[in-house]
Structure 1
Amino acid sequence: MYKYVFLDLDGTITEPEEGIINGVLYALSKFGITVEDRTTLYPYIGPPLRDSFREFHGLSEEEAEQAVLYYREYYSTKGIYQNGIMPGMEAAFQTLQERGCHLYVATSKPELYAKQILEHLKLDGYFDIIAGSTFDKSRDSKAAVIEYLLAGIAADQGKPSMDDIIMVGDREFDVIGARAFGIETIGVLFGYGSKEEFEACDCRYLAENAEEMVQIILR
């Protein structure tokens, strides 16, 4: 059994499509960019937005920084409330806690937003620590968030063994970030990644649903 469970937020705990995509559309509109098919923006869900604006729409570094600010204009007042809970996840949290697991959030989303979303969905009480990125970019990669989270656990309970930790996420960024610390990952297939994406980055476990995720954690 894995004692410490690190969970990504968007596409793993929550269904974030409406809020994130609306925020991206709002930001792109400020640059005169229109998008006919909102599903083409799904790759924005997961990785840092700054990188996505540059990669997917060719914005310069300066423009990408401004796009993130535009995105936050929308997201901070509307988008954070346009979230739902992924099927079976709350029941999974209850089961894992009953079996003695400690749950943590490790997200590239700004920590402030992550806490507001989980409070809004009444899920915040399940987590020992909710760790996310910072607005000043001092902590904006998944690896940096995990490092921060590990430090928090060490300060509270002593340094954990990496063999007792599992990361759960829906994109390759979760696998890569966790691997930097020797942590294995469960790739969930109900989010925004794919089996092919996880196979390409040698993700150890795959879960079709929340029930399979729990079985892997408790085995």
Structure 2
Amino acid sequence: MASTVASGRIRAVLFDLDGTLVDSLAAIVAGLGDTLERYAGRRPPRERIVAMVGLPLSKQVAVLDPVPPSEDAIRERVRFAETRFAAHSHLEAVFPHTKELLNLCRGSGIPTAIVTSKTRTEFEAFRTRHPWVEGVDAVVCSTDVERGKPSPDSALLARSLLEVSSGRVVFVGDSTFDVACARAAGCEAWAVAYGAGDRRSLEASLPDRLFEHPRELLQELRKAIDLHPCHARN
């Protein structure tokens, strides 16, 4: 992997949500498929939907339109998609070691943020199902910024909220959109190959680290923290 960020104490860790901390691919494929079938008249193949994962929902719901739909039409589709994701939420599963990752950061004094392509409405519904996300220090959704991933806006906002404008910041995600977002925001790009992202595409995006299993991510983060410890927070 290409390493473009200097080593040293990690100042903050930004986590993508879907495909990184939570295995929500089945719920996303089902909900987005329902939405595209309703508004475009056909349900794309699963692999086509998977390739969209990581983009803002406002882009996903319009991907099959030959002419860009109006803003009102996009808002209607987004609202419908949010209801379908909620209907399929029973398909979600938290990845192994997710809570350990967050606890490790908190216990080591490292602030964390979730940087997600979910809308704020989606995330608030997710929060009610997964109260462990209260353990992060900040959450940035696609609707909180003008440009979602792969633009750096969401990661830059997270850095601002965590007050880490400089120093080593790690961004962990499962898609090439996450890697591009991390790079553009001056973060170290750690990619996970167990989410929705295509492994070959992830490798081609040249992340600084690439992990096959959540356990490997936890081990690498613990090792990096042990090399440059900082004070724990209450």
- Using the size of structure 1 for normalisation, the TM-score is 0.82
Q: Give 5+ residue unaligned stretches, structure 2.
A: 1-8, 225-234
2:189 corresponds to which of 185, 190, 197: 185
| Match status 1:12 vs 2:13 | no
Aligned partner of 1:38 in structure 2 is 46
The alpha-carbon distance between structure 1 residues 64 and 43, as it changes in their structure 2 partners (threshold 3 A), is farther
SS at match of 1:4: strand
Give the aligned residue type for 2:14.
Answer: F
Runs of 4+ displaced beyond 6 Å: none
SS at match of 2:206: coil
Q: What's the offset of the Cα at 1:59?
A: 3.9
1:125 corresponds to which of 100, 124, 134: 134
Asked whether the equivalents of residues 211 and 217 of structure 2 are also in contact (C-alpha less than 8 Å), the reply is yes
Map 1:184-203 to 2 at 5 A.
184-203=188-207
The alpha-carbon distance between structure 1 residues 44 and 65, as it changes in their structure 2 partners (threshold 3 A), is farther
Map 1:71-150 to 2 at 5 A.
71-76=78-83, 78-79=86-87, 81-82=89-90, 83-134=92-143, 138-141=146-149, 142-150=151-159
Q: What's the offset of the Cα at 1:179?
A: 1.0
Q: What's the offset of the Cα at 1:217?
A: 2.4
* 1:136-186 Cα distance to aligned partner (Å, 9 max, x none): x734335111122122122xxxx44232x1000000111111111221111
Asked whether the equivalents of residues 97 and 218 of structure 2 are also in contact (C-alpha less than 8 Å), the reply is no
RMSD: 2.6
SS at match of 1:46: coil
State how far apart, in whole Å, the 2-side matches of 1:36 and 1:46 are: 17
Q: What's the offset of the Cα at 1:47?
A: 1.2
Q: Give 5+ residue unaligned stretches, structure 1.
A: none
Task: Name the count of aligned residue pairs.
Answer: 212
SS at match of 1:72: helix
Give the aligned residue type for 2:195.
Answer: G
- Using the size of structure 2 for normalisation, the TM-score is 0.78
State how far apart, in whole Å, the 2-side matches of 1:121 and 1:16 are: 12
Asked whether the equivalents of residues 174 and 196 of structure 2 are also in contact (C-alpha less than 8 Å), the reply is yes
Q: What's the offset of the Cα at 1:116?
A: 2.8
Asked whether the equivalents of residues 192 and 213 of structure 2 are also in contact (C-alpha less than 8 Å), the reply is yes
Asked whether the equivalents of residues 111 and 137 of structure 2 are also in contact (C-alpha less than 8 Å), the reply is yes
Deviates more, 1:31-40 or 1:118-127: 31-40
1:204 corresponds to which of 186, 201, 208: 208
